[in-house]
Amino acid sequence: MYLPKEDRYEKMIYNPCGTSGLKLPAVSLGLWQNFGHQGNIANIEEMIYTAFDIGITHFDLANNYGHPYNGSAEENFGHVLKKGLNNYRDELCISTKAGYHMWPGPYGDKNGSRKYLISSLDQSLKRMGLEYVDIFYHHIFDPNTPLEETALALDQIVRQGKALYVGISNYNSRQTNDIMSIFKELKTPFIVNQPSYSMLNRWIEDDSLDDFAKNNGIGLAVFSPLYQGFLTDRYLHGIPDDSRVGKGSTWIKDQLTPEMLQKLKDLNEIAKERGQKLSQMALSWVLRNGKVTTVLIGASRKEQIIENAACINHLDFSEYELSKIESILKPS
């Protein structure tokens, strides 16, 4: 029987999610990669227990995680819950999402319809063995479904007790504003947007989504803060065969040019001066200004979780460091 460490809450930072009463750890665990059907269940258990042992209370999933075996990440997470983690359910914040292709036919395709969202969450709850999730997201904006229908479906899910809060993912600032207006009318507990964001992917700054979220009391849970592993030490000395680029399992592999490699090496030098690994500095940089509530990290082994969670020990940057980072990131 799993017993968590008693000191698990002593070192983690917990940030309010927007202006809601919900707090999320500065570092959360995303179960996108390595937690599905092709993952090793013993390793999956160890990673989840390790995360909780160091104060990571937020576990982020989606209906299609575990591709090509959609739903297998939720099934494996349900297995871990059943083995003992569910004894601590009230200490966990569990989120899942729906929006991308999930099952054959028009009702399981990429969309935001009431039919799809409600059916999908029912499936997710069954796979995880849960009565409710803490946050349920619409995973991606759907231009083919009226926004009112998507918002009303999410509102109904909360009123049915299947989710405590709702969120959106991959919505820009205009789309966020549009659905937020509907949620306000309905008094739906809409608290978070989940965009991609990193040193190498700063679209939310160009779109002003970060400022919009801050000004409107919406939390930001950032995914891919390490840019598919680019912002780690994995590629500083070549391309390992077992890396995402080496296996061809990332759509940004063509971006790993000699110029990009030089940027990563230059950033790594700053990280070393700060007493951090490149991945730790990249996470600290995302969290530095207070607009981001939590960064969602992935992992393939427990040591990565421990290492990356340590980013919270050095969140401050000098003006010199920020200026130097900007000069490196500036397009050539």
pLDDT digits (tens, 9 = 90+) for 99-145: 999 999 999 999 999 999 999 999 999 999 999 999 999 999 999 99
Residue 251 lies in a domain: no
Q: Is residue 254 part of a domain?
A: no
Residue 77 included in any domain: yes
pTM to 2 decimals? 0.94
Mean pLDDT, all residues of the chain: 95
| Domain extent at residue 164 | 14-239+278-315
Asked if residue 92 belongs to a domain, the reply is yes
Q: Is residue 299 part of a domain?
A: yes
CATH number where 90 lies: 3.20.20.100
Span 203-257, pLDDT tens digits: 999 999 999 999 999 999 999 999 989 999 988 876 665 555 545 555 566 788 8
Per the domain annotation, does 206 fall within a domain?
yes
Please state, in angstroms and rounded to a whole number, the distance separating the CA atoms of residues 292 and 25.
11
Total domains in the fold of the chain: 1
The answer to whether residue 218 sits within a structural domain is: yes
